[in-house]
């Protein structure tokens, strides 16, 4: 790989230059079109091209659904709407959770009258935020986080299989992964576990037929037109093309999660030696 490991130490996890940020802005990747075979929504330059609906999620939350399928405009809108709801939230809002194309508001209530009023209030917060978010063009990510990744043995368990499945040489798979503008669609599944959109269309491969019982913490894996990074040694069925020495989730850190929904992500290739050096420095 072309980048020396030493240059990276000290810059991972931080914010990167304005030029790089502009290059990674979603305006570049949204124009690439749909990121998955599931998307069937027309695009309209950042305007929501669907009729959002807000519906109850059980008796303690309401959820705004912004699209029926994976859609990058709707995802960008979900992050703006979640931020807007947080800015305007009264104290009874206990959680605001953006997912891929939904935003959920959880509320607390002690009496039945409060519950009904707050369900209405949370619905109104979401509707107003949708209204405000609707016409805006997708904004560049507020920050882009650099993630050093070793795409070599012993960390790139499925790289050869991905190369065979896509018909690309292994180094081209890595170049395609590094070259794309990635963005965190959602934190879900496990604490700090990112679902990252923007995968180069040539790298679209299905999940593995048999999940691995234990992924290495930091495993960088692709499937479903997305990239995922496993924070913990959990089971996982995605194709592992590399591993980052960074700690994705540390409850003692503030914030505990390295990534947040809406972040831009820049994957930076590193050598196995650099991986070991960074991992040792992080106490892994």
Partner 1 sequence: MTVKVLRPGALATLQDLGRRGLQHLAIVPGGAMDPVAHRVANALVGNRGDAATLEIAVSGPELLFERGALVALAGARFDAWIDGAAFPGARPALVRAGARLRIGRATAGAFAYLAVAGGFDVAPVLGSRSTYLPGHFGGLDGRLVAAGASLPLAAAADGLGRARFARAIRKRREVVLAGGAARSVSWFAPNLTVPTTEPAIGRAVEGAHAALFTDAARAAFYGERWRVAPDSNRMGYRLLGPKLELVTPTEIVSQATCLGTVQVPAGGQPIVLMVDHQTTGGYPKLAELIGADAPLIAQVPPGGAVRFVATKLDEADAARAALAQRAAELIERILWEFGDADA
The footprint of partner 1 (CB under 8 A) covers 38, 55-61, 63, 65, 67-70, 82, 94-102, 104, 106, 109-112, 115-116, 119, 186-193, 195, 232, 234, 249, 251-252, 255-257, 260-261
* Shortest distance (Å) from residue 68 CB to partner 1: 8
What is the C-alpha separation between 40 and 68, in angstroms, rounded?
9
- State which residue, 5 or 118, has the beta carbon closest to partner 1: 118
* Shortest distance (Å) from residue 232 CB to partner 1: 6
Cα dist. 127→81, 89, 95, 121, 130 in Å? 9, 13, 17, 10, 5
DSSP letter string, 15-47: ---HHHHHHTSHHHHHTT--SSTT------TTS
Instruction: Please check whether residue 17 is in contact with residue 282, taking contact to mean a CB–CB distance below 8 angstroms.
Output: no
Instruction: Please check whether residue 162 is in contact with residue 248, taking contact to mean a CB–CB distance below 8 angstroms.
Output: no
What is the C-alpha separation between 174 and 216, in angstroms, rounded?
19
Strands 264-270 and 144-150: parallel
* Shortest distance (Å) from residue 145 CB to partner 1: 14
* Shortest distance (Å) from residue 278 CB to partner 1: 21
- State which residue, 11 or 108, has the beta carbon closest to partner 1: 108
- State which residue, 3 or 189, has the beta carbon closest to partner 1: 189
What is the C-alpha separation between 254 and 257, in angstroms, rounded?
8
128 closest CA partner among 80, 85, 79: 85
- State which residue, 135 or 283, has the beta carbon closest to partner 1: 283
* Shortest distance (Å) from residue 43 CB to partner 1: 17
- State which residue, 125 or 159, has the beta carbon closest to partner 1: 125
* Shortest distance (Å) from residue 30 CB to partner 1: 17
Phi, psi values for residue 162, rounded to 5°: -65, -40
73 closest CA partner among 37, 20, 38, 35: 35
Residues in the chain: 284
* Shortest distance (Å) from residue 260 CB to partner 1: 7
- State which residue, 62 or 266, has the beta carbon closest to partner 1: 62
- State which residue, 114 or 161, has the beta carbon closest to partner 1: 114
């Amino acid at each position: 790989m072309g980048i020396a490991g030493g240059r990276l130490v000290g810059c991972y996890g931080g914010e990167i230059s304005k030029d790089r940020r502009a290059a990674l802005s979603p305006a570049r990747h949204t124009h690439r079109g749909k990121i998955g075979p599931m998307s069937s929504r027309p695009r309209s330059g950042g305007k929501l091209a669907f009729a959002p609906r807000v519906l109850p999620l059980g008796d303690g939350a309401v959820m705004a659904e912004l699209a029926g399928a994976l859609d990058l405009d709707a995802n960008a809108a979900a992050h703006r709407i979640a931020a807007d709801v947080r800015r305007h939230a009264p104290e009874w809002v206990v959680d605001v959770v953006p997912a891929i194309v939904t935003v959920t508001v959880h509320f607390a209530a002690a009496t039945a009258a409060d519950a009904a009023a707050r369900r209405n209030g949370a619905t109104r917060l979401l509707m107003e935020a949708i209204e405000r978010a609707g016409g805006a063009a997708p904004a560049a990510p507020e920050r882009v986080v650099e993630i050093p990744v070793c795409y070599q043995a012993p960390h790139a368990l499925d790289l050869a299989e991905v190369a065979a499945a896509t018909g690309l040489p292994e180094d081209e798979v890595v170049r395609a992964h590094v070259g794309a503008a990635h963005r965190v669609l959602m934190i879900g599944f496990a604490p700090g576990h990112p679902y990252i959109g923007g995968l180069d269309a040539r790298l679209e491969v299905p999940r593995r037929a048999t999940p691995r019982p234990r992924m290495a913490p930091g495993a960088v894996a692709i499937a479903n037109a997305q990239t995922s990074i496993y924070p913990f040694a959990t089971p996982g069925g995605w194709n592992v093309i590399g591993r980052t020495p960074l700690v994705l989730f540390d409850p003692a850190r503030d914030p505990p999660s390295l990534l947040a929904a809406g972040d831009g992500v820049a994957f930076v290739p590193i050598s196995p030696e650099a991986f070991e050096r960074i991992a040792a420095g992080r106490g892994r």
